[in-house]
Structure 1
């Protein structure tokens, strides 16, 4: 039988160990906050609660990456796909994607807006080491592979996919505010992928769209986001600016900020155009919103296989189902309505286009196909229209009598 003195010693040791662990975690959080939150020339409080720090270009996050200590930041693309008017990208002529923080101020010249990371953002993360990263192997699988692993996969998709050789892609993305269960997310995005083999650890991706992800952002607003990886989400890459990689250059647009206006059922439909393309001279992958709002770029040497081009483009919705309950999650994809509900009810992507190796922008007619990982929960319905080009409706409510 354990003596009372031994028991007291064990309790004290346990308390001390707990305190040591807590102190270590606090120190790690402080270190990460210091790394992510650069000195600001000016800070702007957004009405939605965000704080936007205006960071001088000399303190740009890209300089934290070991490959880019001496990187020369490119302030505008050096090449565009065929038929584009390069002057449209002149910063003086940019049409802005409205963000709520801008009603309280703008960033000074030679600075970029960065959404401030808060302590609670990191505390909510399961791992400080993997803060801002997706789960490994969270790229869509083949239908057969997904069906075999459905009980283990947390991610579900409804997509249009095209395979070939590409230097970019475009789409207009409809925005909603879906219900999302705690610790899960719902998103709509475009994936530009280089998948050279069946070895998942070699997958390179660039991703952009909107997402509702309370565990990350602390609220249920749809937010503009980006993502990248060069090793199948294993060790490299992250959301937004949670690690160095993407090079924002625009002083009017904060990555990770909330989308100001969202679509309503049977009402006004909100959308935004997005384009990703490979600069033929520098090799960088550029990101553009709206008709001429250049956001920034991913340096070519950030990647392995995307240095030469993409092999796949995907457009569509994704949800995370944490499977905390025996039934399927009630997290919604898109508007939460199935694709067949159509206009002003279902969410959509329209004007899907790819940019080929000849820098020609064109719809992927005849080569695109649909992919649904769990059709009774979330589905997709494509079509062709004289104004919308190649488009699709997609989404669903999750749990329903046919999705359990």
Structure 2
């Protein structure tokens, strides 16, 4: 008989009492053991994520930024990087030899310049990199300790051959521009920054560029960078700079920012995963960020630059299979998670939450989108395609002109009368 039967009976025999108590003790012990194991698991992960800091800075948004010595950063937990000599600068920059003075030259002060919130309370010294400290609550919000910092499988937009079942299964929706059919050695874009509203904590909204290699199967290679709002990952609704990489379609490799070994950061000024401020306002000031990712033709590493000033670091070539040579597709645009928690389409916004036809000051945009060719030159992309799973929820419209080069407006509100 079950424990519940004995425990709820009006007349208890001594056998029943013993059996009941043993059952309760057994269940209680198992629960304690499981909680204890999880606590140990979380502690071990926090120890691995949070390296000893030379200095720590409390950001106004509640983040703690640890200034970690460059040689102690998370990348060097990777067994292949034990004896890696940090490359402190790329050999080549798109359009020629790397010129440190040109890249690090301070831009003219502009009314729409963007900074990171933690800068208000300090900066990291030379020979350190800023690392956003991972807190216990961050890890506990993840579906499992092991999945913390990772995307779910199958989140890449699949132009031209979109399978409706794949769309439904992944719950991810996109509005993108893309190019394919050539060898690409990098991509660049200036991305309008907003703070889209998120309906459910397990949903996110991001705007990024994708550098893709391989098929859309289990062997997909991807490097991604842009901005995102992700309550699950960060515990708030702030707009944050982020990167991601995977060499096996998000299965076992890769992660956001510096939450696993891989990306090697060399810059002491910009923190991956930290809030960026200010953000654009509807019919108000517009703010944007520039991101460039390119492959160094000499060393083979994939480098990332933020704005005109900051070369952030690189993904070592050995992390990838297909991207060890070149990319076969470049994508730019937005992505949201649609969990359909109440049986309706999510009202999580993409971009500004407005449709593309509303234009500047209202809709979100990517401008000056470019690719890097095999001569290491930035050039206008040819044969731009667009893709969205449900254009009545989120849409995309391309254009080109002298000032913005190739550009597109994108985004939308999600749930609306035409997107129930």
TM-score range, shorter chain: over 0.9
Instruction: Give 1:359's aligned residue.
Output: 376
Query: 1:147 offset after TM fit, Å?
Result: 2.1
Match of 1:261 in 2: 278
Paired with 1:22 and 1:277, the residues of 2 have a C-alpha distance of 45
Q: How does 1:132-171 map to 2 (within 5 A)?
A: 132-142=149-159, 144-163=161-180, 164-171=182-189
Work out the CA distance in 2 between the residues paired with 1:9 and 1:211: 50
Hey, what's the Cα distance between the residues in 2 that align with 1:169 and 1:150?
Answer: 26
Residue deviations 1:261-296 (CA, integer Å, cap 9, x gap): 100000100101110010011101000011131111
Superposed counterparts of 1:222-301, under 5 Å: 222-301=239-318
Q: Distance in 1 between matches of 2:354 and 2:233?
A: 25
Report how far residue 149 of structure 1 moved. Answer: 3.5
Q: Which residue is equivalent to 1:174? A: 192
In the alignment, is the contact (CA less than 8 A) between 1:192 and 1:312 conserved in 2?
yes
**When the two structures are superposed, what TM-score results if normalisation uses the length of structure 2?**
0.92
- Native 8 Å contact 1:97 1:290 kept in 2: no
Structure 1 unaligned runs (5+)?
none
Q: What is the aligned partner in structure 2 of residue 80 from structure 1?
A: 93
Question: Matches of 2:32 and 2:391 in 1, distance apart?
Answer: 48
What is the CA–CA distance in structure 1 between the aligned matches of 2:59 and 2:308, rounded to whole Å?
Answer: 25
CA shift, 1:82, in A, is 1.7
Count the aligned residue pairs.
400
In the alignment, which of 357, 360, 378 is matched to residue 394 of structure 2? 378
- Specify the alignment match of 1:186 in structure 2: 205
Structure 1 residue aligned with 2:12: none
1:152 and 1:87 map into 2 onto residues whose CA distance is 46
CA distance in structure 1 between the partners assigned to 2:44 and 2:106 by the alignment: 37
1:320 pairs, out of 331, 337, 349, with: 337
CA distance in 2: counterparts of 1:72 and 1:224, whole angstroms? 27
Structure 1 residue runs of 4 or more that deviate by more than 6 Å after TM superposition = none
Instruction: State the secondary structure of the residue aligned to 2:185.
Output: strand
Is this contact kept in 2: 1:146–1:153, CA < 8 A? no
Structure 2 CA distance, aligned partners of 1:156 and 1:361?
29
In the TM superposition, residue 376 of structure 1 has moved relative to its aligned partner by 1.0
Shift in Å at residue 152 of structure 1?
Answer: 2.0
Render the CA deviation track for 1:325-377: whole Å, top value 9, x for unaligned.
11101100000001111111100000010001121211113x11000111110
3-state secondary structure, aligned to 1:374: coil
Residue of structure 2 in register with 1:29 after alignment = 42
Instruction: Give, in angstroms, the shift of residue 60 of structure 1.
Output: 2.0
8 Å CA contact 1:167, 1:357 repeated in 2: yes
Q: Distance in 2 between matches of 1:62 and 1:313?
A: 25
CA distance in 2 between partners of 1:401 and 1:97 (Å) = 35
User: 3-state DSSP class of the match of 2:365?
Assistant: strand
| 1:390 aligned partner | 406
Residue 100 of structure 1 deviates from its aligned partner by 1.6
Does the aligned pair in 2 maintain the 1:172–1:350 contact within 8 Å? yes
Q: TM-score, normalised by structure 1?
A: 0.96
Residue 137 of structure 2 corresponds to: 120
Alpha-carbon shift at residue 236 of structure 1 (Å): 0.1
> Which structure: larger Rg?
2
Bigger shift: 101-110 or 264-273? 101-110
Residue equivalent to 1:307: 324
1:146 to partner: Cα distance: 3.3
Match of 1:207 in 2: 224
Q: For residue 399 of structure 1, what is the aligned residue in structure 2?
A: 415
